[in-house]
Amino acid sequence: MGPAWANGGLMLGLFKRKPAADPVMTDRLKAWVGALMDLAEKDTIMLAELACRDPGCPDLETVITVIKADRRRFELRFPGPMAHVTEADVQSLAPQLLQ
């Protein structure tokens, strides 16, 4: 018969992949972050949209992770989807990033 979750639908959609983000939008976000942080070719920028179910947390959050060649790591978080992140949002983090 198998485990209860196998046929009970409890895992339905649990591992469903979202469509890929718009490449124009992701390139734009990477350019804004790269310019703000004066990133080099060997530095890495990763983008993700994460769902959050915790109270007080936005339903969807954009997380931008920057790993510099010297292994320093920065995590930038914005409430909402990538499409809603503006250049002004990215610029607002300058005081934290440029210390």
Tell me the per-residue pLDDT of 28-46, one tens digit each, with 9 for 90 and over: 999 999 999 999 999 999 9
Contact 29, 90 (CB under 8 A): yes
pTM: 0.75
State how beta strands 44-51 and 73-79 pair: unpaired
Question: Looking at residues 92-98, what average pLDDT do you find?
Answer: 82
pLDDT digits (tens, 9 = 90+) for 55-81: 888 889 999 999 999 999 999 999 999
Task: Give the range among 10-14, 19-23, 67-71, 80-84 with minimum mean pLDDT.
Answer: 10-14
Exposure on the CB side of residue 16, measured as CA atoms within 13 A: 7
Quick one: what percent of the chain has pLDDT higher than 90?
59
Query: 61: Cβ–Cβ under 8 A, 6 or more apart, which residues?
Result: 49, 50, 51, 52, 77, 78, 79, 80
Per-domain residue ranges for the chain?
20-97
Question: Looking at residues 9-31, what average pLDDT do you find?
Answer: 73
